[in-house]
Structure 1
Amino acid sequence: MAGFCHLHTHSYYSLLDGVPSPEELVQAARRLGMRALALTDHNALYGAVEFFRQAQAYGVKPVIGAEITLADQSQLVLLVKDETGYANLSKLITRGRLRGGHNRFSLQWADLKNATRGLVALSGGHKGLINRLLSQKKPEQAARQALFLSRLFDGEFYLELQSFTPQDALMNLRLRDLAAAHRIPLVASNDVHFVTQNDWQLRRILHAIDANTVIDKVQTAGSREQYFKSPAEMNALLRAFPEALANTEKIAAKCHFAFRLGRPIFPSVELPAGETGFSYLWKKSFEGAMKRYQPLTSRVTKRLEYELQTIHDLGFAEYFLIVKDIADFCRREHIPCVGRGSAADSLVAYVLEITQVDPIRHNLYFERFLNPERSDPPDIDLDICWKSRDRVLRYVYEKYGPERTAMICTFNTFQNRSAIRDVAKAFGIPEDEISKVTKYLPHRHIGQLQEALQTLPELRALRPNLDMYREILNIAHRISDFPRHLSIHPGGIIIAPDYITRHTPLEKAGKDIVISQYDMHSIEQLGLVKIDLLGVRSLSIVTDTLKLIKTTRPAAVGKIDPDLLLKKSAELSPLDLRAIPENDPEVTRFIRSGNTMGCFQLESPAMRGLLRKMQVDNVDDVITAVALIRPGASGSGMKEVYIKRRAGLEPVRYVHPLLEDVLKETYGVIIYQEQVLRVAHRVAGLSLGQADLLRRAMTKSRRKKEILKLRETFLRGAVANGLTQKQAETVWNFLAQFVGYGFNKAHSATYGTIAYQTAF
C-alpha cells in the first residue's frame, strides 16, 4: 500500500464551510497513522498557528498552506516549503484580500508572477481551472494551463486526482494522460471538509446559514465523500495511481517551514546617536524617577535597576520605548492617556509616565507583570480619550508605516443563542417560534433546553416537534464556538520590524480598516509586539470637566490651584493624583454615601451598595472596592467575608501565621493576584517569578497532571520552610480556593484612582 497524507484539507477556519477544528484534523491524522498533514483553508491562514502547535503536540508534521481563489473563480492549493514560501503566500493572500475589500478576495493570475518561490502548487481538483477545461472538452487549453503553471512554479506543480463523484473516474484518466504527455506529476487528494461522513449534514447547515436559506435548497456543500479518509480508503479509491498517492508524502517531506514561536519580534526604534535601546531606556527611566520621587531613595533606585536589568535580559527595552513614545505623543497633544492592567506593577512604566499608579506606594510587584521565568512579551494596555483614539492610531501608522502596522483581528463565534437561532432558521422554523425557545437561553445552558421543552408550560405548543428541536439543539451545541466571521480587536495593534506580511497575512474589515488574519492568541505565539489602545469615555469626561471648572467656576476649586488642577498640560498627565489631595474628606464622604452616579466604575447599583457597606475612608478603599465588585470576588463569597471582617462582625482568621503579613490589609482574604505571589513566596520559598508562573497555571490550567505537579512543588517548598505536611496542604487548599478569583491589584489601583478623580 502506498503511503498517503492529506494535503488539501479545510478546518472551520474556512468560515461557514469547513467543519473540524485544527485539533480534530490533527487527531484524525494521528489516529490513522499519517506522518504529515496540510491545512489549506480558503484564502486565509487564520488557523495556521493553532494548527502548527496542535500538530507538533500530537507528533504530526504540519504543512502550512491555503486554497487560493483566482479571478475566474478557479482555485489552486499552495503549500509552503520554506520561509520564502510563507512570505510569498502571505503576500498573495494579503493582495487578494486588500484588493477585494471586506469579505471579498480578488487575485489575478498575473499576481502569481514573482510570488511562487518556496511554494508547491496543486491544481485544485474539482475547483481547479484544468479540471474545468477538461470537463468542457478543451484538452489543448488545459495542457497550456498545466505547462504554464509548471513553469511558473519551477516544476513544483502537481495535477490533483480526486474520487468522490461518479464523473471522477473519467476525469482522472484524462488528467493521467495530460500528466504523461507533459511530464507533470500527479497527487491524490480528497478536498477534506469534515472528519466523518456523518458531518456532511453539518456542512450543509453551515452553507444554509451562510446563504440565509434552508437546508433543502443548499446545492453548494459538495459530496458526503469529502471526509478524512484513511490511507487504506484512499489507496482503494486510487489504486490505479500509486504515484499520486506516494507523492503526498514526498511533497510533505519538501515542506519544512516552521513557525518560530515564543520568540519576541520587536520593531526597530529611532534612537539618539550612540545609544542602544537599553542605554536609552535606562537614561529615560532615571530621568523620570528623579521627577516622580523627590528625594530619590535607595529603595526606588534598587528596584528600578532590577526591573531594567530584567527588561534588558528578556530583550524588551524597545517595547517600553515604543509605548513611551505613544504616551509622549498623547501628552504633547493633550490627549488623556493612562496605562492600565498589570503594566502598573512596573516601576519603569511609572517613571516613564506610561502608568499613573505608584507601585511603591501601592505595594505592587513587578513579577506579576514581567519576570525572568516568562518568555512571552509584556502586555501594556493604554486607555485613551475615546474622542482622540483615531488620532493616536494615525500617529502610530504614520510613525511606523502602514506596511509595518495593522490592527489585530478577532473571531466572532457562534454562541448558544445565535447558534440555535441560525440552525433553526436553516431548518425552516418561523422566527416567532424560534424566539419562544431562545428567550430561555439566558437562564439555561444549551444542554438543559431539551428538559425545558418538555417541562415548561410556555413551550407546550412546541412539543410535537420535540425530535426536530432535539436535533437542532444538538447541532447548535456542536457549532457553538465555531468562528463565524472576522471582526476588529477593540484595541490591539501590532508593529513589525519589517514588512508585516512576512509575519501575518492582512485583510480588510469593515470601514476598510486593515487587520491581521491572526487573532491575539496567534499574534502572541508569533511574538509580534501587541499594544492595546482602548478608547475610554471616562477619560474624556475628566478632561472636559476640568476645562469647564477652569473656565466657568474657578472658585469651585478652592484651595487647589486651577493651573495645577489642569496639570499644566505639558508637564503632568490629566490623570495624576499628585495634582489633587489623595484623601480629601469631602470626596471620601461623597463616595461613602453611594451617590456616585456618573462616576467611573462607581455607578452600578451593586457598587454603590458596596461603597455604603464598606464605609470607605480613602482612595485605597476605593481600589479595594473596584476589585471586590468583580464577579469572581462576589461569586466566591469573598466580598461578604471582607465586609463582615472590616466591620468587626467576624473575626479575622489566617490559615497559617505566615499569611498574616501578606493578607493583613484585606482581613485574611485573598483579593488580589499579587497576594497569591506573596503567599507562594512567603510560604513555599518560591521566587516571585516562579510564584507568578504558579498563579498563571492555577488560574488557566485544567490539566490534572500539571496541577498535581505544581501542588507537589508548593508542598515541598512549604515543608522545607518549616510547615508540617498538613499545614502545607491547608495553605495550598486555601490558595487553590481563591486563586481563580483574585483581581490584578495594579489594574484595580489604576481604575480606583481614576474613579476617585471622577468623584473629586
Structure 2
Amino acid sequence: YQNLLQLVSIAHLEGFYYKPRIDLDILRKYADGLIALTACMSGQIPRLLLANQFEAAQKQLSWFQDVFGPDRFYLELQYQQLAEQRNLNRNLAKLAAQNGIPLVATNDVHYLNREDAEAHDVLLCIQTGKTIEDTNRMRFSTSEFYLKTPAEMEEIFFDYPEALENTLKIAERCNVHLELGEFHMPQFQLPAGTQEKLTTEKYLEQLCRQAIVDKGLTWDEVREKRLLFELSIINQMGFPGYFLIVRDFVHFAKREQIMVGPGRGSAAGSLVAYLLGITNLDPIEHGLLFERFLNPERISMPDIDIDFCFERRGEVISYVRKRFGEDRVAQIITFGTMAARAAVRDVGRVLGISYGEVDRVAKLIPRELGISIADAIAHSPDLQELIQSNPKIAQLMKIAVKIEGFPRHASTHAAGVVISGEPLTKFLPLSRSNEDEIITQFTMEDIESLGLLKMDFLGLRTLTVLRDTQVLIEQNRGQKVSIDKISLNDFRTYEDLAQGHTLGIFQLESAGIRRLLMRLQPETIGDLTALVALYRPGPLGSGMDDDFIKARHGQKEISYLHPLLEPILKETYGVILYQEQVMKIVSSLGGFTLGQADLVRRAMGKKKPEVLAAMRQQFIQGAIAHGILEQIAVSIFDLLEYFAGYGYNKSHSAAYALIVYQTAYFKTN
C-alpha cells in the first residue's frame, strides 16, 4: 500500500502529461507488495498482441515477470462482446501457458448496471463537449461495460475456470489495514535549550502563565480553575503539541503584521487558545464553553479554524511548509459535483434539446440548497406533467437523475491544509492543482478519518480592509490605532448601527439583516453576538427573532418553565438562542457533565431518536433529583429538542460580532 501511494503520487506530481504516468524504472523501484495485471486492450502487452507484435509482447512480459516474480503477475482476460477481445484472450492464454503465468478474469467496469450505458454515453459527451448526434466522438461500442454478476462471469469465462478462481485468490491476498481512529500529530519542536528542562505539557502551561502577565489580566479563582481544567483535558487527550503548532503560525502571522481574526468557530471557547493569542476573546467574559470546542467525552481532533488577511494568507501556508517540511504539508482537494439544475442543462445540451425547453425544465427545480431532481419532481405538478407529456423531457430527466451528484471537477479546498509529522505519502496520495500547488487526493473527511492534522486557513477580505484602514489612519492622521485596544463601548458606533448605517460593515450589508439590526437596537457586543445568531433561516423561520426583540423591548413578558432556567436564558430574554445554552441547561438541570451535555446537543441536532430516548430518561431523572417536577422536566427536554436545531455556536457568534463592531467602529470614528 505504501508503494502504491508512492506510485500514484509520482504519477501525478512528476509524470503528469494529460494524464498521470509512471515509467518502468519507477514501477520497478516501488513494485514490492503489489500485484500487477496486464489491463484492458489499452494495456502494453494487449496492445502489442493486437498489433501481432508477439516478440515485443514476450519481451515486455519477461520484464514484468522479472519485476513482480511468479506469483504477483497475472495475464488479464476481459470480454465486453468486442470482436478483437476473443482473439486477444486466446493469445493471452497461449502466452500464459508458454510462460507459466496465471490468468485472471476481470470486468472492465465503467458503470454499475447495463441500463446505465446511456447515462455513461451522455457523461462522455459532457466531458468531451460533444452531443449524442456527433458521429466523430468518443463512445463505447457495446453496453457491456457494467458490473457483471458472478453467474454472468462464469458464463463468459466457462472455458477459463482457473482465471475465475484467481479473482478470489487475488482478493484474499489484498489485506490492507488502515489505522483509522488513531491520531498522527506532527511533533512540536520546543525552543533550543528547553528540551531537557520542559515537556510540551509544561511548556504549554508556561506560555499560558506568561500570557496572564503580558495581557495584564485580573486573575481570579474562576479563571485559575478553568485554566487548570482545560490544560488537564488537553494533556489527557494528547493535544498540547496541537495548540503549540497553531500558536506558532499565528504568532508568525502577527510578527509579519498579517491580520489574524479574533476567532472562528468553537475555538473561541478556549481560555488556553485566548492566552496563547490564537483567539482574541476572553471566554470567561463572554460566557463561552470549552467543552463545545474540545469534549473530553468524545475523542476527536481539536478543530481550530483561523481567519487571515485575504491577500497574505498564502504567506502563512508557505511558512508552515518551511516549518514542517515541503513533503509534510499540503492543501486539500475538493470535488465539485453536478447539482440538479446543472445536470439537467448539461444532459439537455447533449441530447440536442433546445435551450428554451431545457431552461424551462431547469427553472422548475427550486434553487433550494441540496434539493435533488427526484425531490423537485415529487413536489412539482408542472414537472410531472412535462415528463408525462413529452418523451424527450422524460428521457432528459431519467438520465439527469442518474448523473446528478457525480464529481464534475477537482479543485483546491478554499481553506483546508493538512500537516503531518512524516511525509504525507505515508498516509495518502498527492496530486497537483490547476494552480500547480501540491494537494491531497483524499478529501477533508478522509483525512480526518486517517487521524491527520487538518486545519482551515481562511482568507477573510474584511481583515484586509481593516489592515488598510489602520494604515490609512496612520498615514492621514498620524495616529497608530491598535484594533485590539479600541473601546467596545463606543456610543456613537452603536448609534450608527441602530440607525442602519451598515454599508461596508462586515456581514451587515443585506437589507434583511439591516432591518433586524434596526429592530434590535444594539447597545453592547453581546447584542451583536445575538444578532449574528438570530439572522439565520432557522431562527427567522421559527419566529425566534420576534420573541427575542419583543422581550428585549419589554413588549412581551419573559417567562421560564422553571426558575433554574433564568440564569442561563436571561441574556437572551428567555429564548434558547445558543448551543451553549442547551448544554448549560442539560448540565445544570439534568445533572450531566458539560461534556455529556454536548453529546446530548449533538444527538438533538442530528435527530437520533434511539440515542435521544435514553438521554431523555437520564435528563428527566436528573431534573427530578434537582427538585423539578417530572411534567416540567419533560416539557424542558421537549423545548430543548425543538430549539437545538436552531441554536447557534455562541463562540463563533461572539468572534464574528467583534469583527462587526471593529468595522463599524472604524467607519464611525
TM-score category (smaller protein): over 0.9
Task: Tell me the residue number matched to 1:177.
Answer: 94
Determine if the alignment matches structure 1 residue 742 to structure 2 residue 647. yes
Q: Deviations over 1:638-690 (max 9, x none)?
A: 11221122122222233344322221211221211111211221232221111
Partners in 2 of 1:454 and 1:317 — Cα distance? 58
Are the counterparts in 2 of residues 677 and 691 from structure 1 also a CA contact under 8 Å? yes
Distance 1:679 1:474, change over 3 A: farther
CA separation in 2, counterparts of 1:198 and 1:725? Answer: 58
1:715 and 1:583 mapped to 2: Cα distance? 42
1:123-149 CA distances to partner (integer Å, 9 max, x unpaired)?
113332222222222233222222211
> Which residue type is aligned with residue 177 of structure 2?
A
Selected match of 1:653 from 552, 556, 559: 559
1:188 CA displacement: 1.7
Distance 1:100 1:522 in 2: 25
Letter in 2 for 1:280: Y
| Equivalent residue runs for 1:67-216 within 5 Å | 86-100=1-15, 104-155=19-70, 156-167=72-83, 168-216=85-133
Equivalent residue, structure 1, for 2:659: 754
Partner of 1:67: none
Which one of 447, 461, 465 corresponds to residue 537 of structure 1? 461
Matches within 5 A, 1:519-530: 519-530=443-454
Q: 1:439 deviation in Å? A: 3.6
| Contact persistence 1:656–1:727 (CA under 8 A) | yes
CA 1:655 to 1:191, structure 2 compared with 1: closer, same or farther past 3 Å? Answer: farther
Query: Which whole-Å CA distance do the structure 2 matches of 1:291 and 1:757 have between them?
Result: 23
Give the Cα separation in 1 of the matches to 2:81 and 2:424: 42
Name the residue aligned to 1:297: 220
Write out aligned runs for 1:542-561 (5 A): 542-554=466-478
Higher alpha-carbon deviation: 469-478 or 742-751: 469-478
Map residues 609-624 of structure 1 onto 2, 5 A cutoff.
609-624=515-530
Cα distance change of structure 1 residues 101 and 236 upon mapping to structure 2, 3 Å threshold = closer
Matches within 5 A, 1:537-686: 537-554=461-478, 562-563=479-480, 565-566=481-482, 574=483, 576=484, 579-686=485-592
Q: Which moved more, 1:98-107 or 1:422-431?
A: 98-107
**Could you tell me which residue of structure 2 aligns to residue 417 of structure 1?**
341
Go from structure 1 to structure 2 and tell me whether the alpha carbon gap of 1:448 and 1:364 turns closer, same or farther (over 3 Å shift): closer
Amino acid at match of 2:653: S
Given that residues 387 and 394 in structure 2 are in contact (C-alpha distance below 8 angstroms), is that contact kept between their aligned partners in structure 1?
Answer: no
| Unpaired stretches in structure 1, ≥5 consecutive residues | 1-85, 555-561, 567-573
Q: Do the aligned partners of residues 173 and 692 (structure 1) sit closer, same or farther apart at CA in structure 2, a change above 3 Å counting?
A: same
1:708-733, CA deviations, whole angstroms, 9 ceiling, x for partnerless residues?
45445544544555545443332222
Distance change in 2, residues 1:419/1:102 (3 Å): farther
CA shift, 1:596, in A, is 1.5
Report what 2:298 is aligned to.
Answer: 374
Deviations 1:599-643 (CA, angstroms, capped at 9, x unpaired): 112222122111110111111101111111122222232112211
Query: 2:448–2:454: 8 Å Cα contact kept in structure 1?
Result: yes
Which range moved further: 724-733 or 274-283? 724-733
Partner amino acid for 2:651? A
- The separation in 2 between residues aligned to 1:466 and 1:683, in whole angstroms, is 61
Q: CA deviation at 1:489?
A: 0.8
Residue identity opposite 1:114 in structure 2: K
Bigger mean CA offset, 428-437 vs 228-237: 428-437
Q: Helix, strand or coil: the match of 2:422?
A: coil
SS in 2 for 1:382: strand
Residue 335 (str. 1) matches residue 241 (str. 2): no
* SS across alignment from 1:676: helix
Distance 1:302 1:258, change over 3 A: same
Contact 1:263 1:375 in 2 (8 A): no
The answer to which of 294-303 and 353-362 deviates more is: 294-303
CA pair 641-426 structure 1, distance change in 2 beyond 3 A: same
672 and 452 in structure 1: CA distance in 2 versus 1, 3 angstrom threshold: closer
Give the Cα–Cα distance (whole angstroms) in 1 for the partners of residues 626 and 423 of structure 2.
52
Among candidates 477, 501, 505, match of residue 429 of structure 2: 505
CA deviations 1:168-205 (Å, max 9, x no partner) are 34333322221122111121211223222111222111
2:413 equivalent to 1:489:
yes
Q: Alignment partner of 1:368: what SS?
A: coil
Cα distance in structure 2, aligned partners of 1:174 and 1:364: 72
Q: 1:463 to 1:529 in 2, by over 3 A?
A: closer
The AA in structure 1 aligned to 2:105 is: A
- Mapped to 2, the partners of 1:276 and 1:185 lie a distance apart of 57
Alpha-carbon distance between aligned partners in 2 of 1:729 and 1:226, rounded to the nearest angstrom: 57
Q: Which amino acid aligns with 1:605?
A: A
Deviates more, 1:338-347 or 1:231-240: 231-240
Q: Is the 8 A contact 2:82 2:142 kept in 1?
A: no
SS at match of 1:127: coil
- Secondary structure, aligned partner of 2:277: coil
Task: Look up the match of 1:21.
Answer: none
Secondary structure of 1:150's match? Answer: helix
Aligned: 1:283 with 2:206: yes
Hey, what does 2:603 align to over in structure 1?
697
Distance 1:636 1:253 in 2: 55
| CA 1:170–1:386: 2 relative to 1, 3 Å | same
Q: Is the 8 A contact 1:337 1:382 kept in 2?
A: yes
Q: State which drifts further: 605-614 or 354-363.
A: 605-614
| 3-state SS in 2 of match to 1:310 | helix
Out of 489-498 and 256-265, give the one that drifted further. Answer: 256-265
Cross-structure match for 1:8: none
Equivalent residues of 2:600, 2:612 under 8 A apart? no
Percent same amino acid among aligned pairs?
Answer: 41
* Alpha-carbon distance change, 161 to 726 in structure 1, aligned in 2, over 3 angstroms: farther
Contact 2:560–2:566 (8 Å) recurs in 1: yes
Q: What's the Cα RMSD here?
A: 2.4
Letter in 2 for 1:283: Q
Amino acid at match of 1:90: L
Give the CA deviation at 1:359. Answer: 0.2
| Deviations, residues 358-411 of structure 1 (Å, cap 9, x unaligned) | 100011000000021222211111111112112212211222221111001111
Q: Does structure 2 conserve the Cα–Cα contact (< 8 Å) formed by 1:266 and 1:528?
A: yes
The question of 1:323 aligning with 2:246 is answered yes
**Residue identity matched to 1:355:** T
Q: Which amino acid aligns with 1:251?
A: I
CA contact (8 A) 1:262 1:375 kept: no
3-state SS in 2 of match to 1:408: strand
Contact 1:269 / 1:322 at 8 angstroms: preserved in 2?
A: yes
* Corresponding pairs, count: 653
Give the distance between the partners of 1:486 and 1:245, measured in 2 at CA.
36
Letter in structure 1 aligned against 2:636: V
